[in-house]
Chains A and B, each alone.
Chain A
Amino acid sequence: EAEVAQSPRYKITEKSQAVAFWCDPISGHATLYWYRQILGQGPELLVQFQDESVVDDSQLPKDRFSAERLKGVDSTLKIQPAELGDSAMYLCASSRGTGDNEQFFGPGTRLTVL
């Protein structure tokens, strides 16, 4: 069964350091999403890609967060510099297309900022 892959699964870093997360969506899925999930809450969208283009990054803190999907397949989310409040689960999801509501999630990256 096709799955969304994410790495690393866990990341511990000190504040002010840079971190990067990687996501490989389900093959053939044109739309890719990055979410942040704080403990005890539902996921919140950070950025959405349609192929290599950003569709929605209105909730992405652009002073420190960046995301790219250069070839329209896998994607990288970066935080620089990391802050204590960035500690959360970072989830990647994909769907067949922007009009397809069924999003499939990867296992996530648990980030702890010390």
Chain B
Amino acid sequence: GQQLNQSPQSMFIQEGEDVSMNCTSSSIFNTWLWYKQDPGEGPVLLIALYKAGELTSNGRLTAQFGITRKDSFLNISASIPSDVGIYFCAGQRFGNEKLTFGTGTRLTIIP
């Protein structure tokens, strides 16, 4: 099935660094969600976005709904070891349509 494109595919950073990742689509979306998944666990909802241009924060995480409605961005400030995992975006184009998930960005913190 269709999946959203996430970039980068993987990131290797040092503790304390800021992180930026994005999610793009060829279609317009009305809702963007960001999830984090730890190995062997289910995804955990981090942030939900509902309006173009919307900027929403959850602690050190900030996500934005792109103005074109075809992309979304997630930033993590001052990364810590527990930020390690795979980050997935998910989007919904309209009403009751199912969520489409991204390909994921794997975040690794180098000691």
Interface residues of A (CB under 8 A from B): 4, 6, 40-45, 48, 55-56, 59, 91, 93, 98-99, 101-108, 110
- Within 8 Å by CB of A44, from B1, B92, B95, lies B1
Q: How far is the CB of B72 from chain A (nearest CB, A)?
A: 13
Report the tally of A-B residue pairs with Cβ distances under 8 A. 57
B1 to chain A, nearest CB (A): 5
For B9, the closest partner residue in chain A by CB is A40
B residues contacting the other copy or chain, number (CB 8 A) = 25
Say yes or no: A105 contacts B43, CB within 8 Å: yes
CB-CB < 8 A to A56: which residues of B?
Answer: 98
- Interface pair A44/B101, CB less than 8 Å apart: yes
**Shortest beta-carbon distance from B11 to chain A in Å:** 16
CB distance from B15 to the nearest CB of A (A): 25
* Chain A proximity mask over B36-49: 1 for CB below 8 Å, otherwise 0: 00001111110010
Is B76 interfacial (CB 8 A cutoff)? Answer: no
A42 near B33: Cβ-Cβ < 8 Å = no
Do A101 and B1 have beta carbons less than 8 Å apart?
Answer: no
Using Cβ atoms and an 8 Å threshold, which residues of chain A touch B101?
42-44
Interface residues of B (CB under 8 A from A): 1, 3-4, 31, 33, 35, 40-45, 48, 50, 88, 90, 92, 95-96, 98-99, 101-104
A108 to B60, CA, bound (A): 27
Establish whether residues A45 and B98, one from each chain, have CB atoms under 8 Å apart when the complex forms.
yes
Task: Give the distance in Å from the alpha carbon of A105 to the alpha carbon of B45 in the complex.
Answer: 8
Residue pair A41, B104 in contact (C-beta under 8 Å): yes
Q: How far is the CA of A23 from the CA of B65 in the complex (A)?
A: 32
Contact partners of A40 in chain B: CB under 8 A: 104
Decide if A42 touches B48 in the complex (CB within 8 Å). no
Complex A-B: 29 CB contacts under 8 Å: A6-B42, A40-B104, A42-B90, A42-B104, A43-B88, A44-B1, A44-B101, A55-B96, A59-B1, A91-B42, A91-B43, A98-B96, A101-B31, A101-B33, A101-B48, A101-B50, A101-B92, A101-B99, A103-B45, A105-B35, A105-B42, A105-B43, A105-B44, A106-B42, A107-B40, A107-B41, A107-B42, A108-B41, A110-B40
